[in-house]
Amino acid sequence: MELFYLIQERALPFSILALLMMASAVVVYVVWKRQVSLPLPLRIFTTVVCLTCIIGSAGLMLFTLFVGYNA
């Protein structure tokens, strides 16, 4: 099937996961580049959680796009 058609068909889960990825990236940027007054262990914990969300969302996006509705 055509990739564009698959994205259109699965727009809602794809959009939600994309928004989660973007929000996590913004949080990581704000924590490290804007020098928010957080202790270093909390910064590291926040970064790990956000990176886990980004990687998990990317995996779920691939699953949703190629496998999710083919049952």
Residue 1 lies in a domain: no
pLDDT in tens, 10-69: 777 778 888 999 999 999 999 888 877 888 899 999 999 999 999 999 998 888 777 766
Q: How many domains does the chain have?
A: 1
Domain hosting residue 20, numbered range: 14-66
Top-confidence residue, 36 or 70: 36
Question: In the Cβ-directed half-sphere of 70, how many Cα atoms lie within 13 Å?
Answer: 9
Q: pTM for this one?
A: 0.75
Output the pLDDT for position 68: 63
Residue 27 lies in a domain: yes
Residue 46 lies in a domain: yes
Residue 4 lies in a domain: no
Residue 7 lies in a domain: no
Residue 55 lies in a domain: yes
Contacts of 24 (CB under 8 A, 6+ apart): 50, 51, 53, 54, 57
* In 1-71, alpha helices (H): 3-9, 11-33, 40-66
The rounded distance, in Å, linking the Cα atoms of 23 and 53 is 10
